[in-house]
Amino acid sequence: MNHPKIAFIGAGSVVFTQGLLADILAFPDLTGAHIALHDIDPDRLATARAAAEHIAKQRGAAHATVTAHAERRAALAGADFVINIVQIGMGEATRTDFEIPARHGVRQTIGDTLGIGGIFRALRTFPFLKALGEDMTALCPDAWLLNYTNPMAMNIQYLTAATGLTRVVGLCHSVYWTMQDLAQLVDVPYEEITYRAAGVNHQAWVLRFEHEGRDLYPRLDALIAADDQLRRRVRVDMYRRLGYYPTETSEHSSEYVPWYLRHDSEIERLRLPIGAYLGIVDENVAAYERTRRALAAGETLEVEGTMEYAPQIIHSIVTGTPRTVYGNVPNHGLIDNLPAHGVVEVPCLVDGSGIQPTRVGALPPQLAAVNRSYLSANDLVVRAALDDEPRHIRQAAMTDPATAAALPVERIWQLCDDMVRAHAQRLQPGLRALLGA
């Protein structure tokens, strides 16, 4: 695998594609890689190809091959690694995920992992994931699928259950950037801290946080006690009450529990930006347009590395260089007190033999209790698709902590009917039924 073939599925997410390519082609061992780009939008695909060729030249990767494919199977054929960054429905579907729940009185900040937004993002993504898995089984059965598409845990659970693929890992930067932020907060260089985290995606927990063998949590406690602005963050509030720091932003974290978004006073106290993700959607579109115009004008693109895990994984598997990353994988005994079939986020060792998740044991009981609520909703969404059972969609929403806190069950079912109507053409046919209140 001296010159691996790396397929980008959803390469029209140009800014993210650029960052990953900048990291991949920064490794001298990977400068001869074949980068196969696929997107269903011809304009975005052309922009992604121009960006990839620009980055290859900028990185001195003269031996890299860049190809662009409107047809997915051509990009996948013979691939060693498949990076999935697809967003089904793009900004239009995301706006629906916010606007309809808001009319029912459900508040969301990001809406891509749990809650009504996460449920329907998953349901419209599953048909694509099944087709992708079938194509990989036929065309690149030994490839590693590196998934960035949210909702991460639901997607990985569905992929492994519905397709039979085993070389699958979900990747997210939340643990890495949380630890960067914590190191800065306690004024210790990131390179000098020792940490261990585990849980579920966007709701993992920092179980160990040390410097030269000394626990850094007491230093963090002192900082929080002295700074009332730090205490106005959801993740800090959760840490103070649960005893372990969560590995995702306050905006994300507020959506996975019933304690915050339901209450006006908490939204004000914790400065929660309702509908924040819609601004991110607009900025992503603007960033794409800036990139497209710059490439068309022959301008130099300043592309920085991302420190994402996919390039590191590819380099480790190709070269045998050992690393530890955080990955989302089926539990199968990795965390004792979480469901075996759920998807958990744990440290993973990577080298020439692939990706090996590490066993964590049991989480502190209060953390496992919060994670189990998250995984229960996930399981019902996945089973809705696997069993073609539309009632499970409504039951998932009933089980979801934030939705259950906001609405009585009759309104939850009405909301789900409205969401099914809006997204019907992107759902598998068996899930398009309207069930009433």
Task: Walk me through the domains of the chain, giving residue ranges and CATH numbers.
Answer: 5-170 (3.40.50.720)
**Do the Cβ atoms of 117 and 289 come closer than 8 Å?**
no
In this structure, what are the phi and psi dihedrals at residue 225, rounded to the nearest 5 degrees?
A: -60, -30
Distance CA 158, CA 19 (A): 27
Q: What is the pLDDT of residue 299?
A: 75
Distance CA 216, CA 90 (A): 41
Catalytic residue among 34, 104, 173, 211: 173
Residues in the chain: 437
Taking alpha carbons only, the member of 129, 9, 93, 86 closest to residue 385 is 129
Token pair 């598997």 is at which residue?
A: 317
Beta bridge partners of 356: 349
Q: What is the pLDDT of residue 437?
A: 63
Beta bridge partners of 8: 37, 83
Q: Which two tokens stand for residue 238?
A: 């959760």
- Amino acid (one-letter) located at 26: A
Taking alpha carbons only, the member of 335, 108, 310 closest to residue 204 is 335
Q: Which two tokens stand for residue 94?
A: 């995301």
Q: What is the pLDDT along the chain (437 residues), one digit of tens a residue?
A: 668 999 999 998 877 888 899 999 999 999 999 999 999 999 999 989 998 998 898 888 888 999 999 999 999 999 999 999 999 988 889 999 999 999 999 999 999 999 999 999 999 999 999 999 999 999 999 999 999 999 999 999 999 999 989 999 999 999 999 999 999 999 999 999 999 999 999 999 999 999 999 999 999 999 999 999 999 999 999 999 999 999 999 999 999 999 999 999 999 999 998 887 788 778 877 887 888 787 787 777 777 777 899 999 999 999 999 999 999 999 999 999 999 999 999 999 999 999 999 999 999 999 999 999 999 999 999 999 999 999 999 999 999 999 999 999 999 999 999 999 999 999 999 999 998 76
Taking alpha carbons only, the member of 168, 136, 164, 166 closest to residue 149 is 168
In this structure, what are the phi and psi dihedrals at residue 201, rounded to the nearest 5 degrees?
A: -60, 130
Q: Is 173 a catalytic residue?
A: yes
Relative to beta strand 81-84, strand 144-147 is parallel
Beta bridge partners of 346: 327
Q: What is the pLDDT of residue 1?
A: 60
pTM equals 0.95
